[in-house]
Copies of this chain bind each other. A is one copy, B any other.
């Protein structure tokens, strides 16, 4: 009983300039292509990993989206972040050799894996990737900090920032910056932003009335990106 594994070729990947291979030479990309485990596919609702699972490695979303969830002492779920294609997750696993939050597919999703057991090998032999991993990890910290600082601002700024942040990140990945479908309920958006679901609903309606966005159910079109961005960028 042997399973055939497809070989990874990071060099062919459309995400090569934002994912693991970022900044590496062709030679180095060949090396890591042999280390990285080929992509696996999950359906909506399936777990990439669960809080408390053993650290398997740093993962990269190849396609689809995911939500990161942490549970607090009161049994409430907290959506820490939404991940898009090309984004990495699992850096928290280096501490205690286990994951500290859960990652769940929001769509059909595929991901690649830089295995934990290859990590020492990488540290020894591919210092450029090591540096790049620190850079990725550092970027994540900066994004989180930014989100945290904004989480102290009023509801409308938080929602505006969330939408613009998605738009920016989608554009960087070659998707439309102005139109997307977000597989999140109002409840989940509210949870992520620290708002009641009713508040999210009311604000989306207001943004639509002000001709900033158009939405139908989970499909969102941003009509006026600059004005939506201005909501959390400038004080009026």
Contacts and interface: CB of A to CB of B under 8 A. Distances in A.
A145 B93 contact: no
Chain A interface SS verdict (over half): helix
Nearest to A121: B127
A91 B131 CA distance: 12
Copies of this protein, total = 2
A92 B149 contact: no
Size range of the chain A interface in the assembly: 35 or more
A95 B130 contact: no
Nearest to A194: B152
A234 B73 contact: yes
Nearest to A77: B149
Interface in A54-79: 70, 72-75, 78
B120 A131 contact: yes
Contacts of A100: 142, 145
Interface in A94-130: 94-95, 100-101, 119-120, 123-124, 127, 130
- Smallest CB-CB A-B distances: 8 pairs: A94-B138, A95-B138, A123-B127, A94-B134, A95-B139, A123-B130, A152-B194, A78-B149
Interface of A: 70, 72-75, 78, 80, 91-95, 100-101, 119-120, 123-124, 127, 130-131, 133-135, 137-142, 144-145, 148-153, 194, 232-235
